[in-house]
A and B are shown apart, each in its own frame.
Chain A
Amino acid sequence: MNARIHALLPGLTLVILVLALSFHFLMTAFYLLPMNPLKLRFHAYAAYMQPFFRQTWTLFAPDPVSDTRLLLVACRLKLDDGTFAEMPYVDVTTPFRQAHYANRFGPADRVERLQSGAMRVIFQRDTLIDRLEEHRSNTSSDLNELLDYVHERDAAARQRGVATLNRVASDHCDQLYGSGRTVATQMRMVILEFPRFSQRHLPDDAGTLRHFDFPWAPYEAVDPLVRLSVQR
């Protein structure tokens, strides 16, 4: 009996592995396909793929990001005489980027990604959802449920992004003006749309500048940056 099992084991293993790989990559291929009516109907693939095999490979596609985004922070301080003072905006992003340009292997990149990652979470928008929104019906349907779920999930993600930026800003205010002095922070996201390709010889300043102000948010204590702290 034992010898028979040993004789069958390699063949059995091979069959199981072929079936498992076929199933797995069928699911993966389905997961990676653009949204289509079949994907809207069958959600089981998502349950299989997430969280361990979730993947996004639209790297710099369909079009890459074509602007530079910066985070500016203003701090509201409580002064010794009990009054409040609002300090001017300070660029939080550029020092990390300069440090990364100076040392490609240095620690600044990951710290800067905290800001750019949070900004991406806040402002990312799926055009497919907008298109699907046009087909929302008045009666309850699978599509309506799906859209509601996506909106709810995106709103929660945006909230996490804003909260993270506020914590980044709080730490920055601590570093600039001393710990415990800041009572609120305000963030400004600046979007520099540098000159388009046809005007590539012009400097960045020749591009257009837009900004988006977040409301004042209460200060939040965060474990501070140590090695990359801002020079006061």
Chain B
Amino acid sequence: MFDSAQYIWGRFIHAASVERMLIGASVFRIVAGLTILYQYLINYFDRYYLYGPNAAWSFDAFRDYLRESGSFSLYAFSEHRLYFDLLYHLGLVVTTFWVVGWHTRLMTFLTCVFFWSLHERTPILWDGGDNLLQIVLIYACFAHLGAHLSFDAERVRMRRAHDNAIRWSGAMLHNAAMLAIAIQLSLLYLVSGLAKVQGEMWQSGTALYYVLRTGEFGWSGYAELIYLNVPLMVALTYLTVAFQVSFPFLFWLNRYTRLMALAAGCMFHLGIAAMMGLITFSLFMIAVELMLINDREYRSVLRHMTTLRRRLGWRLQRRLRRVGRSPRLAGLRMRLFFDGWCPLCRSSMRWIRHLDLFGLIELRSFRDPAVVERFGLDPARAERRIQALAHGRLYEGAEAGFVIATRVPATWPLVPLIWFACRMGVAQPLYDWFASRRMIEPEGCATGACIVPSRTRTSLPRSDSQEGY
């Protein structure tokens, strides 16, 4: 009896310590992070009017509100405009790091603090989506949001290779956070649905008419197409209530109904974004819904999409590669020598290979002695900065980054920015700062046991840099 209980408890612990929904958590990070960046940037030029020390919601009102609600905001510490600007831009930077997954744990916490602070600064600007995200970000501080699609991905993968009690506890914390988010979303839908059931307009099937005809939530010229079509309008009104009330039951019933509920939620919020213009509300809701799709389901979707893309895209890819091989573009072909012992570099190279539509970039690890010998590289310099051989010249560090950006279509919008940063002398020091802090995993260290930061293992003389440019 005791043995059997112990066995069940052991199985339970084991099941609870397998991290769930890691891909969903990363997708959430990206979708929610980009939406927060959109919130910061869309009113960037009017930031003083909306959130500044002398904003329309005055600083006195802001302080009174904080005192009454017992809340906090970093913006409350000073009325100085410089302080406000510093915080606002720090919020932008922190959220950007969060989106790309750089030191994700810390950035999740900081994003949560900065997001909370901005929202408390002018509390009348926000909606239910912001309310949900404020809460979800608190839970997310305990989750692993950087396991995929991030700069941390490789590091997280190697840490997860260690199977010990502390990793198990961390995994449980992650699963508990994901469970909390799922329960929170279920409560949201249930409460919202049950509140609607009591409303006369929702009961009579006309609520959507009133919502879409208001100036605030309508869309003049388009909303009429829905609210004047009585069968459609009544059906959508009842479907809204039915979906919200049934969401928790569908979500927890089985995986098929869960996926159905989440897919319906995404469609529902895309409709709200378009027809009611609640863009950030919808994106935050969709971000949370995408979080609750498990890894196996994401992989299955990815497999299907890959097959589809291969079927549809191979001709286009072949054509682009053919263009890349044409004599006219011969001058654009380049070789890139990266650090094959650096997990971050390997991850970045995978992205470059993926995005290099014209096939112009040949990737080589300078850790391969044959490569060093064949191309006459200086290993010490290559270890300090990435090397790019193009137009018969060797480019280093940020300059190499610029050369790559000119060849990868997805990074073309960044070309002027990188060029400007290089010319201003900002890019190279920034590159060096990052490069000197990268992790290095020499070959044969698959478990991550011999990972070292590059700056502790290199004691090379400073290169005479800029030469040859």
Contact = CB atoms under 8 A, between A and B. Distances in A.
Contacts of B220: 98, 101
A107 B38 CA distance: 10
Nearest to B12: A14
Interface string A96-126: 0110110011110111111011101100000
A117 B119 CA distance: 13
Q: Interface range on chain A: under 10, 10 to 19, 20 to 34, or 35 or more?
A: 35 or more
Interface in B183-224: 183-184, 187-188, 191-192, 195-196, 198-202, 206-207, 209-211, 213-217, 219-221
Main DSSP-derived SS at the B contact region: helix
Contacts of B195: 57-58, 61-62
21 contacts: A14-B13, A21-B180, A25-B180, A52-B71, A57-B128, A58-B191, A63-B210, A65-B210, A70-B215, A104-B274, A109-B277, A110-B125, A111-B49, A114-B50, A114-B56, A121-B124, A171-B56, A194-B213, A200-B209, A200-B228, A226-B45
A6 B165 contact: yes
Contact of A116 (B187, B196, B216, B228): B216
A129 interface: no
B11 to A, nearest CB: 12
B302 interface: no
A61 B13 contact: no
A11 B124 CA distance: 44
Interface in B136-185: 138, 164-166, 168-169, 172-173, 176, 179-180, 183-184
A93 B216 CA distance: 10
A214 interface: no
B64 A156 contact: yes
A11 to B, nearest CB: 6
B135 interface: yes
Interface residues of B, number: 81
Contacts of A111: 43, 46, 49-50
Nearest to A28: B187
A227 interface: yes
A230 to B, nearest CB: 13
Interface of A: 6-7, 9-11, 13-14, 17, 20-21, 24-25, 28-29, 32, 50-70, 93-94, 97-98, 100-101, 104-107, 109-114, 116-118, 120-121, 153, 156, 160-161, 163-164, 167-168, 171, 192, 194, 197, 200-201, 204, 220-228
A57 B216 CA distance: 19
B332 interface: no
A24 to B, nearest CB: 7
A30 B273 CA distance: 31
Given A61-B196, A200-B228, 17 more contacts: A13-B173, A20-B176, A50-B70, A59-B192, A60-B207, A60-B211, A64-B214, A68-B213, A68-B215, A94-B215, A104-B274, A107-B45, A110-B39, A114-B122, A167-B58, A201-B228, A223-B48
Contacts of B274: 104
A120 B202 CA distance: 21
Nearest to A168: B56
B196 A60 contact: yes
A23 B122 CA distance: 31
B54 interface: yes
B207 A223 contact: no
B187 A106 contact: no
B343 to A, nearest CB: 27
B172 A14 contact: yes
Most buried by B among A25, A104, A114, A197: A197
